[in-house]
Amino acid sequence: MSRASELVKLPGTVAAGLFSRKGFLEEFEGALTEAEAGEMVHLCAAITMTMEMQGRLLGRMADQSGWDSFYGWMTWGPEKSIVTIHDSMCIVQGRQTSFNRVIKAMTESAGTEPIKPGGKGEPNANIG
């Protein structure tokens, strides 16, 4: 079963997909048309690369490492939210999902480890 197929099964998830760094749609499942999914993937790839660039710039300006350890991003609106981890994205209904559960599933799916905000051993903040 594909990663997108597994992610779209999460409670409150409307759609899930995988994207390449160049903005290509790799996998997609859910309640968007192919055109909408393509637009969403372009958005996710562009924001991901922008966030990575900002992290590198902040690291240089602050003369501190760690800013460039970009992991993912999310944005939310009154009805739906977008969560992006590594090369995957989920569109979720904010009031019907647990962001912690979605981020945990996406992290496991991507086979990556989140950066701990306060340093080694400190748990990530609970975001709901």
CATH number, residue 88: 3.30.450.30
**What mean pLDDT do residues 33-46 have?**
94
The token pair at 64 is 């501190």
Does residue 120 register a pLDDT over 50? no
Q: Could you tell me if residue 61 is inside a domain?
A: yes
DSSP single-letter state for residue 96:
G
What is the rounded distance in angstroms from the CA atom of residue 58 to the CA atom of residue 37? 31
By percentage, how much of the chain surpasses pLDDT 70?
A: 84
Contact by Cβ (8 Å): 17, 37: yes
pLDDT at residue number 110: 83
Q: 58-116: per-residue pLDDT in tens?
A: 888 888 777 767 789 999 999 999 999 989 999 999 888 999 999 999 999 887 655 44
pLDDT at residue number 122: 40
Beta strands in 5-127 (DSSP E): 13-19, 25-30, 72-76, 80-85, 88-93
Q: Could you tell me if residue 119 is inside a domain?
A: no
Q: Could you tell me if residue 115 is inside a domain?
A: no
Q: Could you tell me if residue 118 is inside a domain?
A: no
pLDDT at residue number 112: 62
Contact by Cβ (8 Å): 63, 76: no
Q: Could you tell me if residue 73 is inside a domain?
A: yes
Q: Could you tell me if residue 128 is inside a domain?
A: no
pLDDT at residue number 19: 93
pTM of the model: 0.80
The token pair at 125 is 């903040």
Q: How many domains does the chain have?
A: 1
Q: Could you tell me if residue 122 is inside a domain?
A: no
Task: Kindly report the number of other CB atoms within 10 A of residue 126's CB atom.
Answer: 7
Distance (Å) of CA 90 to CA 43, 46, 57, 70: 13, 16, 27, 18
Q: Which residue range is the domain that position 45 belongs to?
A: 3-110
pLDDT at residue number 68: 67
Q: Could you tell me if residue 51 is inside a domain?
A: yes
Rounded (5°) CA angle 69-55-78 = 95
- Residue 35's SS3 state is helix
